[in-house]
Amino acid sequence: MHNDEVQGLIDRYLRVSFYVTKIGESLIKEQICSDLTNEQYYTLRFIQQAPQCKSTDLAEAFYVNKSAISAIITRLTDKGLIQRKRDENDRRVVYLTLTKEGEALFSAKEQKIHKLVESFITKFNNEEIEAFIHTYEKLSRILIEMTKDIQEEPS
């Protein structure tokens, strides 16, 4: 592939990535309203899907430091949406779970987001969406590997 072709593909990728990310996050924000930030919604989603979730699990999954996760956890705890539970065998270990209020709010927002995603995902036929998701998952794996490689490099 020639440099001009590569440059054209890079430009297309950056343009599409910008719009998909910005518009996608904006549409999600409309669905969760002022109840939550996007980061708080994704945190609730992760906790809901991960039994025995710890703050370190969140920090690793979101590729942020523990202090950033601690701030989100504190805000969600203050809102009464999550609770901290100490492990009975090791009091140093703290698990995060959704409260009943957190489950109800998450469920309501998840339904709205499901309808949003369904509204555009159904514009693709099955082959297109399978190919897209497969490619997007591959991109995710590549980016995760690149992130791990960067983190492992000596300073």
pLDDT digits (tens, 9 = 90+) for 7-42: 999 999 999 999 999 999 999 999 888 889 999 999
d(CA 145, CA 75): 31
Q: DSSP of 108-154, one letter per residue?
A: HHHHHHHHHHHHHHTTS-HHHHHHHHHHHHHHHHHHHHHHHHHHHS-
Q: Please name the helix (run of DSSP H) or strand (run of DSSP E) that holds residue 5, with its range, or none.
A: helix 3-32
Q: Give pLDDT, residue 155.
A: 60
Residue 105: Cβ within 10 Å count: 21
Topology of the domain comprising 3-123: Arc Repressor Mutant, subunit A (1.10.10)
- Comparing C-alpha atoms, which of 104, 103, 122, 126 is closest to residue 114? 122
pLDDT digits (tens, 9 = 90+) for 120-152: 999 999 999 999 999 999 999 999 888 877 767
DSSP letter (8 states) at residue 84: E
Q: Give pLDDT, residue 52.
A: 87
Q: pTM of the prediction?
A: 0.83
- Comparing C-alpha atoms, which of 86, 89, 107 is closest to residue 98? 107
Read off the tokens for 105. Answer: 């709010």
**Considering Cα of 120, then 125, then 128, then 129, what sign does the dihedral take?**
positive
Domain spans of the chain, in order of start: 3-123
Give 148's contacts (C-beta < 8 A, 6+ positions apart): none
pLDDT digits (tens, 9 = 90+) for 52-66: 899 999 999 998 889
